[in-house]
Copies of this chain bind each other. A is one copy, B any other.
Amino acid sequence: MTETSPITGLGANIQRQSTTDQAADAVRQAILSGRLLPGTPLREAALAAELAVSRSTVREAARVLASEGLVRYQMNRGIVVTESTAEDVADIYAARAALELAGVDALTEHRDPAVYADLADLVEQIEHAFHRGDTAAVLDGDRLFHATLVAATGSPRLRRFYLQLQQEQRLALALAERSRRELGRTADDHRQLLDALHRSPAQARAELTAHLHAGAAELQQLLDLLAQRKQLAHRAEGETTHG
């Protein structure tokens, strides 16, 4: 899996990280963790001061994040953390479906036992995490399971694109919390999906699309809830201002 030098056998390619990349990482982390909410404008000067870097560096980092879809870059209006619409969420799931179905096709065609083993491990992990009540671990396992599926295509480009989709999805629900019931369904779903992957391509495809549709619906619902809560907060704020 890892590259090895033909001479030394050491694949350790040491490499410093540019300030720009570090800045991008910091902001990305803040966004994905929900510390920077969608819609938040990112003032270049303030960010530069906060990160102790120059404005040029911030701008370069912003270009990177923009290409990942985490922020939007509007002419003369600056950087804003991306706000996902309902259509965006639907689209993310549609795109996910396309890539993951390609993964299913590749897997059910080549039947690589290593991939099946990885997937089985992940299902175990997810179930364990669920019983421990470790929400973050469940979600991590979920993401890794699907990423592994796409990786089964063997295509680096599909893999990279898929990771971006996952990032966008994380951004969309950064502040949403899943209920225990939904997490349980997640755990069950993946075992079922794995079974279907063993059985037949057609069943696997069907199971996956069903799983994704359910996920999309759940996320849409969560977003609606958040929007409602936000509206209420907004209204309350208006009242206090008026009173």
Chain A, 147-166, contact with B by CB distance < 8 Å: what is the 0/1 string? Answer: 00000011111100100010
A56-64, A110-118, A122-130, A182-190 - the one binding chain B: A56-64
The SS class assigned to the A binding surface is helix
Total copies of this chain within the assembly: 2
Report the bound CA distance from A158 to B162 in whole Å: 11
Say whether A67 faces chain B, with CB atoms less than 8 Å apart.
yes
**Number of A residues, CB within 8 Å of B:** 29
Measured CB to CB, the closest approach of chain B to A215, in angstroms, equals 16
Q: Contacting A156 at CB < 8 Å: which of B16, B64, B91?
A: B91
Interface residues of A (CB under 8 A from B): 15-16, 18, 56, 59-60, 63-64, 67-68, 75, 91-92, 94-95, 97-99, 101-102, 105, 153-158, 161, 165
Q: Which residues of B contact A18 (CB under 8 A)?
A: 75
Report the bound CA distance from A8 to B16 in whole Å: 54
